[in-house]
Amino acid sequence: MKVLLQHRVDILLFILLFAGMSFALYMALIGAPTEKTMGDIQRIFYFHVPAAITGLTAFALNFVASLMYVFRKNRWWDSLALSSAEIGILFFCMLLITGPIWAKPVWFVWWTWSPRLTSSLVLCLLYAVYLLIRKSFEDPDRKAMVAAVFGIVAFADAPLVWFSIRWWRDIHPSPMLETGNLDPSMRPALYTCMAAFLVLFLYLLRRRFYLEIMRNKIERMIRRTDTIR
Amino acid sequence: MNYLFAAYMAIWILLALFLFSIHSREKKLREEVERLKSILDKSE
């Protein structure tokens, strides 16, 4: 019964994801008006911003799950932390690739060491280190604890990413929704893409999380078979 | 227009690679489950 319900949720999420991403693509590439100064290049914005927000959400989830693991010592939280870190890296890779592709024709450089760009790169690298740390421990409990502590410390960079364009002078555009710089005709496309990325995040998190739960079960089975042998 | 195409392609390629990586890890785990099941069955 539980498996059947999970299967139905999977199918529902996949249908929602397919419809959402198709509509988001339509809105980003056709539905939204062409920006006057940058032209069609500005359409990268509709996937670039949701990738940033979803990535930060994933790292925030890693932070909460890591904290929970430190206090509860339950592997469920460790699995959630690992899954969200991997997905956060995926979204930040999207961000760090689409950003320079947008920057080249607009700023005439692929990359500049501005506070927003640098702190984003550092955050992505910190979570890559988080994954590497996990590979360097054999004992699962020790691995989970060290990774949880590192995850909590690594998240300290996330507020820097968020506030960098508010605190320091930066070549990166200011937060358009907060400052009201985004034209109202562009908002439906951005909101659609954000909703689609949220569904994508839930879909990926669900799949990655169940993979980790399955891996933990198999580890326990291996220990059982070792005792039989 | 080329930059726009490159950006969107990069996103889809990254997503496809991640999904492929999850799928292959799931497949490996399923194979491992089958192997362990056969060991347990033999022992019982």
Which residue range is the domain that position A204 belongs to? 45-228
pLDDT of residue B43: 75
In this complex, is the C-beta atom of B7 within 8 Å of any C-beta atom belonging to chain A? yes
Cβ of B29 within 8 Å of Cβ of A218? The answer is yes
Residue A12: inside a domain, yes or no?
no
Whether A215 maps to a domain, the answer reads yes
Q: What angle do CA A225, A206, A18 make, to 5 degrees?
A: 135
Q: What is the interface pTM, i.e. ipTM, of the complex? A: 0.89
Q: What is the pLDDT of residue A101?
A: 94
Query: How would you class A151 by CB atoms within 10 Å of its CB: exposed for 0-12, middle for 13-18, buried for 19 or more?
Result: buried
Kindly state whether residue A142 falls inside one of the protein's structural domains.
yes
pLDDT given at position A142: 92
Residue A26 in domain: no
Give the C-alpha separation, A206 to B10, whole Å.
23
When divided into structural domains, chain A yields a total of 1
Residue A108 domain flag = yes
Considering only residues A120 and B33, tell me which one the structure prediction assigns the higher pLDDT.
Answer: A120
Instruction: Give the pLDDT confidence score for residue A156 in this predicted structure.
Output: 93
What is d(CA A162, CA A178) in angstroms, rounded to the nearest whole number? 12
Which of B18, B21, B22 is the best substitution to test chain A (most A C-beta atoms within 10 A)?
Answer: B18
Mutation target to probe the B interface, by most B beta carbons within 10 A, among A193, A214, A216 is A214
User: Taking Cα atoms as reference points, which of A128, A130, A129 lies closest to residue A66?
Assistant: A130
Using one digit for the tens of pLDDT, what is the confidence trace for B1-24? 689 999 999 999 999 999 999 999
Cβ proximity of A68 and A205 under 8 Å: no
pLDDT (tens digit per residue) in A129-180: 999 999 998 888 899 999 999 999 999 999 998 888 887 777 777 777 666 6
Give domain status of residue A130, yes or no. Answer: yes
Q: Does residue A94 belong to any structural domain of this protein?
A: yes
User: Does residue A5 form part of some domain?
Assistant: no
- CB neighbours (10 Å) of residue A189? 22
